[in-house]
Structure 1
C-alpha cells in the first residue's frame, strides 16, 4: 500500500498523513524525517512536528538516501516530506533524473509507504531559475508518485479528500 498526501504549506497534510499511517500500521511505524536543519525558523517547524508525533513513531533522519533507509526498515514508513527531500537533493548537486531514479526504487518496494508533499505548483512562475527548477521537479515527481500510489489525498484547511 502506498499513499500520497499533497497540499499547501500548513494545510494539515502532515497530521492527516500521520493519523492515516497509524491506522494502517500494526506496529509502530517509521517517520522518515528528510529536513536538514537550515535556520532557527526550520528548527521551530521541526520541533512542532516532533511534538505532534510524540512517541507514536520511530524517527529516522535521512535527508538524501531515502531508498536505502526505507528498504532497511521493517515497518511501514511515513516520508515527511518529499518537498524537503527535493530541496536537499538540489542543494547537494543532484538533478531531476537522480531524484526520479531514487523514487522509482522506493516505489518498487513491497511495503506500506505514505508520502507527504507540498503542492507548490498553483502559484505564479517564479522569477529565478532555482525556484522554477524546484517547482518543476516537484510537479514532475508528484505525478510520478501519484501514478504509483494506491491512494492520493489532497489536503486543504485540514481536510484530506481522496482523489485517487
Structure 2
C-alpha cells in the first residue's frame, strides 16, 4: 500500500503550500488532483493563483466528483495531491450524490494505492455552530469525512500559521 497523508487546518492556514512541498519531496513531477470548480469570478481567480504558484513541476487533473477513479487511473505514475476534500464533499452534496458511498469508495481506493497520496481538507469543527441546516449538514459531513480519512491515513498534519504540526 502507498503512503496516505492528510493535511488539515483552518482557512488560510497554509495547508495547501505545506501539502505541495511535501508532495514534491516524494517525486517530481507530481500530480495535482483539483476538486475545485470555477463557479464565479472570485473562485476562478483563486484557481488561477493556485495554478500559477504550482508551476511546471505539476500535472493537473481536474476531478470535482469522481475522486476514486482519478486516484485509480493515476496510481503509480507520480505522487498525487488531492486539494481539497471539503470542496469535493460540497460538490457531491450540491450534485445530490451519495457522499457517504463516495467516501467509502475513496477509502477503499486509498487502501489499494501503490503510490503516495496526500490530501488537503479543511478543519471545520473549531468554529461556531452554523445558523442554518445546510451549513450544519455540511459541517457534520465534513467532520465524518475528516475522521474516517484520518483514521486510515498513515500520517496526519495540522497546519497552523503556515507550520505543519504532526498529529499522527
- Structure 2 length-normalised TM: 0.93
CA distance in 1, matches of 2:124, 2:18: 19
Q: 2:134 aligns with which of 121, 130, 137?
A: 130
CA distance in 1, matches of 2:83, 2:160: 17
Q: SS at the partner of 2:61? A: strand
Return 5+ residue gaps in structure 2 as ranges: none
Q: CA deviation at 1:86?
A: 0.3
Comparing 153-162 with 106-115, which one deviates more in the overlay?
106-115
Equivalent in the alignment of 2:15? 13
- On the 8 A contact 2:24/2:79 being kept in 1, the answer is no
User: Does 2:155 correspond to 1:151?
Assistant: yes
Equivalent in the alignment of 2:32? 31
Q: Note the 1:1-164 alignment, pairs <5 A.
A: 1-25=3-27, 27-73=28-74, 74-110=77-113, 111-164=115-168
Q: CA deviation at 1:29?
A: 1.3
- Structure 1 length-normalised TM: 0.95
- On the 8 A contact 1:64/1:88 being kept in 2, the answer is yes
**1:53-102 deviation digits (Å, cap 9, x = unpaired):** 11111000010001111111122210000010001000100234223222
Q: CA deviation at 1:4?
A: 0.6
**1:94-120 deviation digits (Å, cap 9, x = unpaired):** 234223222222322222100000111
- Where do 4+ consecutive residues of structure 1 move more than 4 Å? none
CA distance in 1, matches of 2:151, 2:32: 23
Return 5+ residue gaps in structure 1 as ranges: none
Q: 1:131 to 1:95 in 2, by over 3 A?
A: farther
Q: SS at the partner of 1:144? A: helix
| Root-mean-square deviation (Å) | 1.1
